[in-house]
Structure 1
Amino acid sequence: MSETALAAVQKPTAEVPAIRLRRLTKSFGETNAVDGVDLDIRQGEFFSMLGPSGSGKTTVLRLIAGFELPTSGTIELEGQDVSGKAPFERDVNTVFQDYALFPHMSLVDNVAYGLRVRGMGRTERRERAAEALGRVQLGKFVSRRPSQLSGGQRQRVALARALVVEPKVLLLDEPLGALDLKLRQQMQIELKELQRSLGITFIFVTHDQEEALTMSDRIGVFNNGKIAQIGTAHEIYQRPAGPFVANFVGTSNLFDPVVAGRLYGRQEQFVVRPERLSLSWDRSAAMHDGVASLPGKVTSIVYVGHATQVNVALEDGPAVVVLVGTELPEGEQLLGRDVTVSWAHRDAVWLPGEA
C-alpha cells in the first residue's frame, strides 16, 4: 500500500465523529444517571455539555474518559469502540476544576509529567513541555512553581499538561469554576481561541449557561440523564425545544395554554424572552396587527448595569420579566404602577410538550 493510501486509511475524516455515543446508560443502583444518550461530537468541535447538578453531564464525561464504565451502550473514539477500555488506553485527556498540579515541581516538569510516564527522554519531553507552555502564553515562567502563579495561570498550566500529549479529544470538567467572574470571562475567550488554533476536539462540561453560550460550536442541554436539546447557542437560546431548556438557558417568560388560547387560539405553551418584551408606562397601548399586549402592575425593579429588569404581574397572565434598556421615568413612583406589556407575534416561541 502506498504512503498516500495508508494516510487516507489512518486519518479520520470529517464524516467520522470524534466521539459517538449510542444508547449510553449508566446506573448507580436504581438510579439512571445517564439514560440512553445518543450523541455525535464532530472532529475539531467545541462541544459543551450544559445542565444543572445531577443532570448526567459529568457522568457522561467520566464515561468518555474511562473513569466509569457504562452499564450499557457504546462509546466510540474516531470510529473505534473504547467502551471497555481503561483511561490510559483511550487517546483523550482531562482537565479538572482543581487543576491537580504537583506543588513541588516546576511548571515545565508539571507539563512534562505525562510524557515522562510514556517513557520519553528528558531532553525531548522538556522541550515539548516548554513549547506547550509557550502556546498558552506562559513560556517565560517555565521554572516557576504553581504556588507562584495566579488562578488563571494555573488553569493554563493544566491545559498545557493535557495538550502536550496530543490527545485526540480534550475533556474539560468545569475548569473555570474556581475563578472569579472577570478572570473566568477572560479565560472563556482564551480557551476558545486556543481550541480554534489547535483544531482539537474539546468537550466542555459546565452548569454555567454564559460559558456554554460564549464558547461552544454546539451545546447539548442535559436533564435527568437525557439530552433535552442539541444545537448552536443561537438555536438553543432563540428556539428552545421545551419548557426546561427555555427556563434553564437564559430567562424566559412562559405563557400557559389558557393565555395562548385567548390570544392566539392555540392550546399550547409559548415563551417570550425578556429583551423581546416592550413596556408602556401606562395602559394606553392598544393591541394592533402583529403585536400582542396585556395590562399589568409593576412588582419590582432590579438594576443590572446594562439594563433594568422590570417585573410585572400581568392581570390575565403570568408574572413576567421585561428587560428595559432605556431610562426609566424620573420623579415618579414606579412600584405598583399600571403598565402595558407588549411583544411582536413573531417573538412568541411555541414549545412542544415534554414527555
Structure 2
Amino acid sequence: MVMAVIEQEGFESLEGVDKVDATDETEEEKPRPKLEGKKIIFVLGGPGSGKGTQCERIISDFGFDHYSAGDLLRTEVKNGTPVGTMCANLMREGKLVPAEVTMALLYKSIQASTARAILIDGFPRALDQGMGFEAQICESEFTLFFDCPQEVMEERLLKRGETSGRADDNVATIKKRFSTFMESSLPVIEHYEAKGKVRKISAVPSPDKVFEMVMAVIEQEGFESLEGVDKVDATDETEEEKPRPKLEGKKIIFVLGGPGSGKGTQCERIISDFGFDHYSAGDLLRTEVKNGTPVGTMCANLMREGKLVPAEVTMALLYKSIQASTARAILIDGFPRALDQGMGFEAQICESEFTLFFDCPQEV
C-alpha cells in the first residue's frame, strides 16, 4: 500500500529509475562549485596515536564539526541509500569505492555545516586525495598531525586488544597498518609541511598533556574555546533580523503514526526502494548532544532542567539537513507532533507534498 501511495504521487522505485554513476558525464558537465568560507582542518595520525580521543575533546571544547570519510560511507551503507548499496556491492567484490563518491559525501556534509571549523578525520590518506579535495571542495587551513613512534602505538593497541576483542589488534596486523599509514600518509605530511600547513603534535604524553598542546595550536590559529566565546541563543534578535529564505525544489513527506504503528520499518523500506532521504527531529537533536556542539550543549542543559527545546532550534536543524539533501524526496519522521509545528515548518522552510499516516487501532 505504501508503494502504491508513493508511486501515485509520481515517484518511481529505484528499480524503475536509471542509476547514474557518481563519475558519469552528466556530473562532469555540471561540476560542483568550490565551497567558500569553510575552515577545514585535516587530522592525521597512525593507528593508536589517540587522534580519535583528541577529536572528541576538540569538538567538545571548540564546537567544531567532525567528519570521517569512513563513517560517512558506513552511514550510507547502513541507511541503504543508492550510494550505500553501490558501495556495499563494490566492497563485497573487494573493489575500492571511487574517490569521487567519498568526495561527494564530504562535499555534502561540509556544505551543510555551519560550524566555525570542520575536522576531517583520517583524511587525506594519500596525496592525490588531498590535492583532489582542495581542487574540488576547498583549501584546508592546516593539517593536525599526531606524531607517535611505532613502538608506542603498538603497545597501546596491544593493550587495547586485551579487552576490545578486535581482530586487528595483534602484532602482525598492527605492523602492517603502521607500514601502510607511513607509506600513504607520509607524502601527504611532507606536501603540506612544505607549504607550512602542518601542525605536528607529539602523541606520546598523556591525553591531557596532548590536548594542552592541541588547544595551544588551535588557539594560535585564531579560534577561542567555547568558554571564551559568547554563546548566542538560537532565538535571539540577530537571527530574527536575518530570516532564512524558504527552500525551493524540496519534496517533503511528513510521516506520522502512533507508537507500534510500524512507521520506522516502513521508512527503512521506502529509503531502500525509493532512495529518499530520512530525517527525525529527535535524532538530529541527539546527534547535536552526542557531538557536543554549542546547540547540543544548550539542549542537554535544557533537558537536564526539564525544559523543552525551543521549536526554533528543531526547525533550524531540519532546515540545515533539508537544505543539504540532494534526494528526490525527504521523509520527515514523527514530525510535526503538533499543528503549530507543521504550520511553522511550512511557513519557514517549505510546503510539504503530503503526510503519510500509518493508522493503527490502540489495541493493535
Using the size of structure 1 for normalisation, the TM-score is 0.23
Q: Which has the higher strand share?
A: 1
Q: Give the TM-score normalised by the residue count of structure 2.
A: 0.22
Highest RCO, 1 vs 2 (Cα 8 Å, sep ≥ 6): 2
Q: Which structure's CA Rg is the greater one? A: 1
More helix by share: 2
